[in-house]
Amino acid sequence: MDARPFGPLDRRVPVVGLGTWKMESDDRESAIVTIRRAIELGLVHIDTAEIYGKGAVEELVGEAIAGYRGDVFLASKIHPEHATYAGTLLSCEKSLRRLRTDRLDLYLLHWPGTQPLEETFRAFEELKKEGKILAWGVSNFDVADLERAIEIAGEGVIACNQVLYNLGERDAEHVLQPVCERHGIAFVGYSPLGSGQFPTRGSWRGDVLAGIASAHGVTSRAVALAFLARRPGAFVIPKTARVDHVEELARAGDLVLTRSEIDTLEAAFPLEPPKSKMPSL
């Protein structure tokens, strides 16, 4: 599994991680076994959030990673309404308890809200000082949000920006991804498989993917992930609660697409003109 430096962190993180949104609705045992298999396969960046299943997903992740904590790069997110100074400290404590751990590797502001960023970031720094989080970042920040966040936090502090990014939604490539690269901020693509809306075989786009996939002996989803993670500083966090699916996705971790395959994918899934508002889910 290919790993690369994660923003300013002194740690390499695998390009493919594992999302957990809506896992509370999956078969619990299957979800837990899948998370453990993901870790074995090197998908150790596990992404969750306090709002997923109103805490139920953090509890599930906590159960899954018990005994594997040292291997995991554990990320959770705070709801922006909670992100006052005191609220951030409290939310983090609650997440740690549900996740059965004493530290998060990464703590993110889930999206820009109305609480002052200065307060949220001051709390993040306090949590860092106490060793309760090892790094922090943001999510769903557009270019203006991110530039303001950098102004407040300073350079080399914000670990990542986690944003919507998949074959049908490449808007971030226009400006946001280059801005992340320029500032040494990891670019983490969420919903990289289109949140379940993935091109099917029989459609021309689905067949383009399938053709490249069969040349490498992998699946179309693995090809999509490898394409999305093709730039340095980029990571993807697909979600699955099935062992067979995670085994397919893991193949993306060391799949190297040729220049001509990338050009073919560029033509099949072209970058649309820039949108006026950053897309998010």
Ligand X SMILES: NC(=O)c1ccc[n+]([C@@H]2O[C@H](COP(=O)([O-])OP(=O)(O)OC[C@H]3O[C@@H](n4cnc5c(N)ncnc54)[C@H](OP(=O)(O)O)[C@@H]3O)[C@@H](O)[C@H]2O)c1
The residue ranges that bind ligand X (CB under 6 A) are 19-21, 47, 110, 139-140, 162, 190-196, 221, 237-242, 245, 248-249, 281
Q: Report, in Å, the least distance between residue 129 CB and ligand X.
A: 25
SS3 194: helix
Q: Which is nearer to ligand X, 10 or 137 (CB)?
A: 137
Q: Which is nearer to ligand X, 10 or 244 (CB)?
A: 244
Catalytic entry in 52, 107, 165, 190:
52
Question: From CA 272, how far away is CA 281, in angstroms rounded?
Answer: 18
Q: Which is nearer to ligand X, 211 or 263 (CB)?
A: 211
Q: Report, in Å, the least distance between residue 7 CB and ligand X.
A: 16
Question: From CA 123, how far away is CA 31, in angstroms rounded?
Answer: 32
Residue 24 tokens read as: 């509370």
Catalytic site includes residue 68: no
Task: Give residue number: closest CB to ligand X.
Answer: 19
Interior/surface letters 84-107, b for 16+ CB within 10 angstroms, e for the rest: ebebbeebbeebbebbebebbbbb
Q: Report, in Å, the least distance between residue 194 CB and ligand X.
A: 5
Question: From CA 172, how far away is CA 235, in angstroms rounded?
Answer: 13
Q: Which is nearer to ligand X, 247 or 259 (CB)?
A: 247
Tokens 């399938």, residue located: 210
Q: Report, in Å, the least distance between residue 279 CB and ligand X.
A: 11
HSE of 228 in the Cβ direction (CA atoms, 13 Å)?
A: 35
> Residues with catalytic annotation?
52
